[in-house]
Amino acid sequence: MRNMGLWLLLPILLLFVFNFFQNGREVVEAIQYNPNFVSLVENKKIRKCEIVTELSGAQFIRGDMTDVDPKSGKSRKFKVDIVVTDGLPAWLMKNGVPFAFSRQKIDFWQILQGALPFLLVLGLLYFLIMRQIRSAGHGVMSFGKSRARLLARDRDKITFAEVAGVEEAREEVEEIVEFLKDPKKFQTLGGHMPKGVLLMGPPGTGKTLLAKAIAGEADVPFFSISGSDFVEMFVGVGASRVRDMFEQGKKSAPCIIFIDEIDAVGRSRFSGIGGGHDEREQTLNALLVEMDGFESQAGVIIIAATNRPDVLDPALLRPGRFDRQIVIDLPILEGREDILKIHAKKVTLGKDADLKRLARGTSGCSGADLANLINEAALLASRQGKKAVDMHDLEEARDKVRWGRERRSRVLDEETKRLTAYHESGHALVLQLVAKSEPLHKITIIPRGTAYLGATMQLPEKDHYTESLIKLKGMLCGLMGGRAAEELVLGDITTGAGNDLKQATHLARLMVCNWGMSATLGPQTFGAQEELLFLGREVARNQDFSEETARRIDIEVAKLLREAYQQAMDILQQNRDKLDMIARLLLERETLDGRDIEEIVKFGRLPKDAERVPAEDAPAEETPKPEWKESEQSVGEAPTASLNV
């Protein structure tokens, strides 16, 4: 681009240089016929002259004077615009002035000199416009061309060995790779290759990574394109790109075409007001026809990824287009451990690094979250000048990713610090004493993130898919422990329990409306709800019950919350000495381990190192059972494992 600009400026520079020398070489003086020219003729001061007729028919006289120009040392030149009459030649001859007649010739250089500035301006405008078009749409003639990129097989190659936590999904796509390598193995019994595979799941679970692994394992061409690449400002471009993409695929068959974020182009069609959706629908129609239309696309496998399968058009999801729909969910405990091991190979781990323990504390994290966790731990260790990443770095990185960075710069006054210590101590003590509670991980009064003054964190021993009524009521008690401790010790309540009450109210409403855990209302659900798949955000809840039932639901929710608050208060009153001890230690150390809380509850004090029993050899402690009757129930979502102020 820069060289092109220099070439455009060069002719302009040459023109100015030529004009400079041209003007410096010859100066013509324009004079009037009368009295200047007449006086020169009569005084014999004209050496010679020439009567010139222009192409337009106009005439003028030009010639040399007898006077010499002092600067150039040459005769002075003149020019007179005149209408030539029959008496002019005789008058010149009478005064002895040599003259001649001539016609003006076409001066191409003069024409070019006049037109060149306009040509340069037009060339510059053309250059700028074409450059803008190329940068916006890769050229006017390439708007309808597919933007699918052919992946190089030897560059950044990823294999199935680098994909963990999605065992079932990996087996499904491995079968497709085997089919491409040895189709006869599957065609023996009449089977045929799947036409399409849809990978769907929450963000960060490895859908695109799995597609890259397919590209690394399959010995066939692999084209990659994003759903947004079909969208353009010009009508018909998206459909044209779809057709061109499949033309490329047919020329390279057998091959794989991967469409990332297909929901950008595959949303359900509808009859809306206005025509703003017509272009997208044309693109979708072209995709539907190419995938399973009149002409078959033998040997072209479509793999698409999305985290919004609920918005895709039903015609796109039917067998024959996407024969397989593979759900890639958040990894379970073993999957998280395997993912951590893969990413931990890139860093130097210390001897005390326990990835299994770390995996227990990352429930609900995706593969992308775990990769970020390992990277944050490595950066933290590097800042501290360590030679290896130890367990402390890993846990600090996990807490930073989940709850925010420690904000030691936020200095709390003694009253706020004491309030926070008792609040978190109330949480920890109640959670330690209620039935079926998850083990405590740690309790801290160091501010984190933008809102938390402290936190009580639990470390589940395994992933849970169902929860019991007793455990859920214990969780309600744990959530109420902070507010109960404030009222018991300080005789006042604060806004610090706002997030706890929000979580408790949500959990109690789920117990009543979704899981049928109300003895008064019985085993039934209330309110048909519509949720976005994977995102878990409730869009609407239809009230399919009467106002009287709604009032009874509110009464049941309030009853559960009051009972939980009262039980938390009873536990704290019965163990007031332990509550004071935990709060005092928190004020001294700022952070306590979960085992410290367990030993305070068991011994009434922190034992010395010689009295400590290794964690794996410690006998299970009997936890007092609450009066509620246990009833195992299936739950739709895992409740939170951390309580924050």
Q: Which amino acid is at 555?
A: I
Q: Which amino acid is at 155?
A: R
Tokens of 208: 């695109």
Tell me how many degrees the CA angle 71-73-78 measures, rounded to the nearest 5: 85
- CB contact at 8 A, 604 and 578: yes
Which residue in the block uniquely carries the two structure tokens 């929000």?
Answer: 502
Cα distance between residue 211 and residue 258, in whole Å = 7
Radius of gyration over every alpha carbon of the chain, rounded to an integer in angstroms:
43
Tokens of 3: 């060289």
Contacts of 271 (CB under 8 A, 6+ apart): none
Which residues on neighbouring strands pair with residue 149, listed in sequence order?
224
Which residue in the block uniquely carries the two structure tokens 């947004």?
Answer: 228
Identify the burial level of 227 via C-beta atoms within 10 angstroms of its C-beta, where 0-12 means exposed, 13-18 middle and 19 or more buried. buried
Nearest alpha-carbon partner for 497 in 484, 510, 511, 516: 484
Tokens of 56: 């337009």
Cα distance between residue 342 and residue 158, in whole Å = 12
Cα distance between residue 499 and residue 493, in whole Å = 14
Phi, psi of 172 (to 5 degrees): -65, -45
- DSSP characters over 52-113: EE-TTS-EEEEEEEEEE-TTT-SEEEEEEE----THHHHHHHHTT--EEEEEPPP-HHHHHH
Q: Which amino acid is at 619?
A: P
Helix (H) or strand (E) holding 184: helix 183-187
- CB contact at 8 A, 61 and 29: no
- CB contact at 8 A, 390 and 350: yes
Contacts of 559 (CB under 8 A, 6+ apart): none
Q: Which amino acid is at 225?
A: I
Q: Which amino acid is at 334?
A: E
Catalytic residue among 376, 424, 467, 599: 424
Cα distance between residue 504 and residue 479, in whole Å = 6
- CB contact at 8 A, 242 and 289: no
Tokens of 226: 């994003």
- CB contact at 8 A, 431 and 478: yes
Tokens of 207: 């859908």
- How far is CA 575 from each of CA 485, 491, 498, 623, rounded to the nearest angstrom? 11, 17, 24, 14
- DSSP characters over 425-481: HHHHHHHHHSTTPPPEEEEE-S-BTTTBS-EEEE--SS--SEEEHHHHHHHHHHHHH
Tokens of 468: 């019991």
Q: Is 424 a catalytic residue?
A: yes
Contacts of 235 (CB under 8 A, 6+ apart): 279, 282
Cα distance between residue 198 and residue 258, in whole Å = 10
Cα distance between residue 88 and residue 72, in whole Å = 31
Nearest alpha-carbon partner for 46 in 74, 68, 71, 65: 65
Catalytic residues: 424
